[in-house]
Amino acid sequence: MSITKEITFKKEGELLLKKVITDSVFKTLDIEIAKTEYETQTGLMYRHMMEGNQAMLFIFKKERPRSFYMKNTEFSLDIIYINKKKEIVGIQKNTKPFDNTSLPSNEPVLYVLEINGGLSDSWGITKGDVIEWIIN
């Protein structure tokens, strides 16, 4: 009999989503940060869910086009691609759980933010919005 420990969210900071035109924060999220190779490759795989106020932020060493997929991810995500200026340059919305289809950024990015599927539309996240974060 094998018992596997459920992977739980680990708050490592707070992320602010801002409208660049008004420089106003429109959403604050608790974030878990994927920094290591293993954390980046695993992301939100093998988790059952994520709360609406939670997100995973991927921080890469080099800005370049990126591609994510939903292999072993049980719930839909919005994958938000962000350049080195911390501007949102693309969003893959309402991804399909367990799908191996490549979901490209289409532009060079340094950061990727994953939130629950559908939230980018309900929160009004658009290209050009910016992010900031504070690490605990």
Q: Looking at the domain assignment, is residue 56 inside a domain? A: yes
- How confident is the model over 17-43, as a mean pLDDT? 94
Considering the chain, what percentage of its residues have pLDDT values greater than 70?
96
Rounded Cα gap, residues 128 and 74, in angstroms: 29
Instruction: Look up the domain containing 59 and give its range.
Output: 13-135
With DSSP H G I counted as helix, E B as strand and the rest as coil, what are the percentages for the chain, rounded to 5? 10, 50, 45
Nearest to 48 by CA among 97, 82, 81: 97
What is the pLDDT confidence band of residue 90, given thresholds at 50, 70 and 90? Answer: very high
Q: Looking at the domain assignment, is residue 6 inside a domain? A: no
Q: What is the pLDDT of residue 4?
A: 59
Q: What is the pLDDT of residue 20?
A: 87
Q: What is the pLDDT of residue 26?
A: 97
Q: Which CATH number fits the domain that encloses residue 109?
A: 2.60.120.1140
Rounded Cα gap, residues 75 and 124, in angstroms: 21
- Residue 122: helix, strand or coil by DSSP? helix
Q: Looking at the domain assignment, is residue 39 inside a domain? A: yes
Rounded Cα gap, residues 71 and 41, in angstroms: 10
- How confident is the model over 105-116, as a mean pLDDT? 98
> Domain count of the chain?
1
Q: What is the pLDDT of residue 40?
A: 93
Computed over every residue of the chain, the mean pLDDT equals 94
Q: Looking at the domain assignment, is residue 95 inside a domain? A: yes
58 φ, ψ (degrees, to nearest 5): -100, 130
Q: Looking at the domain assignment, is residue 7 inside a domain? A: no
